[in-house]
């Protein structure tokens, strides 16, 4: 159990802290679009936490141009695929929820900062603010990462 938690904890924070979301300009805009993306991200991460093999809902929220610390979308798919086979399902894994989404600092390329409150209420309530990079596409927001190579 402790070992599984360690893997999932690393996966959660690597995913959340290294992600960039799109939320401005020429794509789907408005409070509903931001809330819809935030809800989809919460659902996708909760699904990975409980059943690692069901990571496709998360991958659908990652833009093809995703890059964070040299990790691309293809790398994420490979990592999650390998983890899915190595980490057993665990329905007791704490679920993180994202609330209070706020979009800011949008560029002309439709890349914005998405700030959310991330909360985990298993034994005690843990809550913090995360800022993720997103891109606003014609199909909604997607994670894009900070586009860094290292």
Domain segments of the chain: what residues?
Answer: 2-143
State pTM to two decimals.
Answer: 0.74
Q: How high is the pLDDT of residue 16?
A: 42
Q: How high is the pLDDT of residue 10?
A: 40
pLDDT tens, 106-124? 999 999 999 999 988 666 6
Whole-number mean pLDDT of the chain?
A: 78
Q: How high is the pLDDT of residue 6?
A: 43
Residue 42 neighbours by CB under 8 Å, 6+ apart: 95, 96, 97, 98
Q: How high is the pLDDT of residue 150?
A: 76
Q: Which CATH architecture best describes the domain 2-143?
A: Roll (3.10)
- Please list the ranges in the chain whose pLDDT falls under 70: 1-29, 94, 121-124
Residue with token string 């190595």: 86
Tell me whether strands 96-104 and 111-121 are parallel, antiparallel or unpaired: antiparallel
Q: How high is the pLDDT of residue 29?
A: 57
30's tokens? 């408005």
């Amino acid at each position: 159990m402790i070992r599984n938690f360690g893997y999932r904890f690393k996966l959660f924070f690597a995913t959340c802290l290294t992600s960039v979301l799109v939320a401005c300009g020429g794509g789907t805009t408005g409070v509903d679009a931001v809330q819809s993306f935030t809800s989809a991200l919460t659902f996708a991460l909760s699904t990975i936490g409980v059943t690692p093999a069901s990571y496709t809902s998360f991958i659908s929220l990652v833009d093809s141009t995703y890059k964070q610390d040299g990790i691309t979308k293809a790398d994420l798919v490979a990592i999650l695929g390998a983890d899915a086979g190595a980490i057993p399902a665990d329905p007791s894994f704490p679920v993180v929820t994202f609330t209070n989404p706020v979009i800011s600092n949008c560029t002309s390329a439709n890349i914005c900062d998405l700030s959310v409150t991330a909360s985990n209420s298993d034994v005690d309530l843990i809550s913090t603010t995360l800022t993720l990079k997103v891109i606003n596409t014609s199909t909604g927001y997607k994670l894009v990462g900070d586009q860094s190579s290292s």
